[in-house]
Chains A and B, each alone.
Chain A
């Protein structure tokens, strides 16, 4: 009898502990998620004005050149991060991982520090630093080359994607470096020493000892970086002051979602964009799971 009472009071306790989370989660995650499926089949002019349009949003979307432009830009940015940012982060981690290096902690903190500023404030700093004439970047280039014509480089209008990739390089290299450092610390010391005794070259050690043991973390960092890059919003939004830039050359997928949903008021079209993006991201995550499985089986 008594144990039944205890069980019941524990069940009551469990649900009482869960109640705040469940209430908020159902109202603000589950319900909007279901609504987003309905919204994607409607056209709206601001909230609370739905007109059913069926699959028209998706048909429109796939023949919308601006949407394709935003997908193109977003992938260029994501690949830029992948092939420029991550190799640099890995090399930095390798450099900081050497045992005898002095001042490791200071370097690590310095390289990580832009992350403390936060994306929005880095975007403001970036927007100011890449200004024509008054900006840090052009003034530095003009000073180094002693040629004032470089003061006129129009980063924010003419070279938007390059600006985005450069700013995010400054912001994220140290962040990704931390992951690689953690991975490098798990490399088996005795294996490294054995390789050294066998007279392995630096490249040989890298290829046969370091790469295999860093691979799980590396695939995770790649996925994380791709997921973050494909949802890029604040940086271009602030640099370009809400527009896509001339010829939409800086428009990203989430920016296009925002413009449609909140500048033009079509929450339906915005939801359709949201679903396409969600499917891309889930696809990527599945590829990652497959790759990790294949690795485990291979080992």
Chain B
């Protein structure tokens, strides 16, 4: 048996290792935020805060919001709005479409159901990169290149989402409940909206968040589909910014902060609701 003394040494060692790793994980954020507040000259004078006469030996007066002002003057806020629009639209419609499809494939009987289910499951193994070239050619043929439609429509029917919602419905929507609603005179449409959707709410929340984040971080689709600079989301705009202002570290770090902050905040706010949503489902079940 290990002695209590050895145990507590082990415990402190474990904490020390974890703390070092946590600091390594966190330092890039700190560096990023401070860098976005520095002028170009202070970049080489210190890793973090520029030295000076202020408290803690830091030149607080050298910190500036100029980088953010410059971003605004370059019209970066337009790209921010584009990202919000693309991500919100995709999250909303992909969730609705996948929930509807998943529900019908799980609970309704009709000819062709098994074939469709099989094809959707089969589509899960198709790597998205295989569809890049033919998808681009298709958008060219139907005249949707460089349009929001061309960017969004191909992303609104992910087989993965149908699979997830089909599983969620099978797990948390009992047949008896659907029959009871039908006997009470509910139409099939109101059964879907009033009975089914609330029962799979944890999956709706999780899938909306996943889809929103995936679209926010999507680079290759807008890079291929959109050509006009004013239509680009943040992901592409920031890489183009780097192409033009390669050594303007202040501007690039500020652009990264602006791009990342909204989604990080969204996740941190919603995180608790997802957990409570998931657990409330478990209690009811």
Contacts and interface: CB of A to CB of B under 8 A. Distances in A.
B135 A107 contact: no
Contacts of A48: 137, 140-141
A96 B162 CA distance: 34
Interface in A82-121: 92, 95-96, 98, 100-101, 107, 110-111, 113-114, 116-121
A21 B123 CA distance: 13
Nearest to A135: B249
Interface string B19-41: 00110111111011001000000
A36 B126 CA distance: 12
A174 B100 CA distance: 33
A125 B32 contact: yes
Contacts of A233: 129, 219-220
Interface stretch (B67-75, B151-159, B168-176, B197-205): B151-159
A125 B238 contact: no
A33 B131 contact: yes
Contact of A15 (B22, B29, B110, B243): B110
B86 interface: no
Contacts of A238: 219, 239, 242
A116 B263 contact: yes
A262 interface: yes
A28 B136 contact: no
Contact of A116 (B100, B256, B267): B267
Contacts of B162: 21
A274 interface: yes
Interface in B10-67: 11, 14-15, 17-18, 21-22, 24-29, 31-32, 35, 43-44, 47
A111 B133 contact: no
B9 interface: no
B92 interface: no
A17 B157 contact: no
Contact of A241 (B35, B238, B243): B243
A257 B132 contact: yes
B90 interface: no
Contacts of A31: 134, 138
A177 to B, nearest CB: 11
B118 interface: no
**In this complex, which of B24, B32, B133 has the most chain A Cβ atoms within 10 angstroms of its Cβ?**
B133
User: What range describes how many residues of A lie at the interface?
Assistant: 35 or more
A281 B125 contact: yes
**In this complex, which of A25, A170, A241 has the most chain B Cβ atoms within 10 angstroms of its Cβ?**
A25
A78 B108 CA distance: 42
Contacts of A15: 110
Contacts of B29: 113
A128 interface: yes
A98 B110 CA distance: 51
Contact of B256 (A36, A100, A121, A170): A121
A272 B242 CA distance: 31
B249 A136 contact: no
Contact of A124 (B31, B242, B264, B267): B242
Contacts of A270: 132-133
Contact of B133 (A13, A39, A125, A140): A39
**In this complex, which of B29, B35, B104 has the most chain A Cβ atoms within 10 angstroms of its Cβ?**
B104
A281 B125 CA distance: 8
Given A134-B43, A258-B132, A270-B133, A17 B217 contact: no
Given A21-B100, A47-B136, 18 more contacts: A10-B108, A20-B100, A20-B156, A21-B97, A24-B97, A25-B159, A29-B154, A35-B137, A47-B137, A47-B141, A118-B213, A120-B235, A124-B238, A129-B31, A131-B249, A237-B219, A261-B132, A281-B127
20 contacts: A17-B101, A21-B101, A24-B156, A29-B126, A30-B119, A32-B131, A33-B134, A100-B11, A113-B264, A114-B25, A120-B239, A128-B256, A133-B44, A267-B134, A267-B137, A268-B133, A270-B133, A274-B131, A277-B127, A285-B125
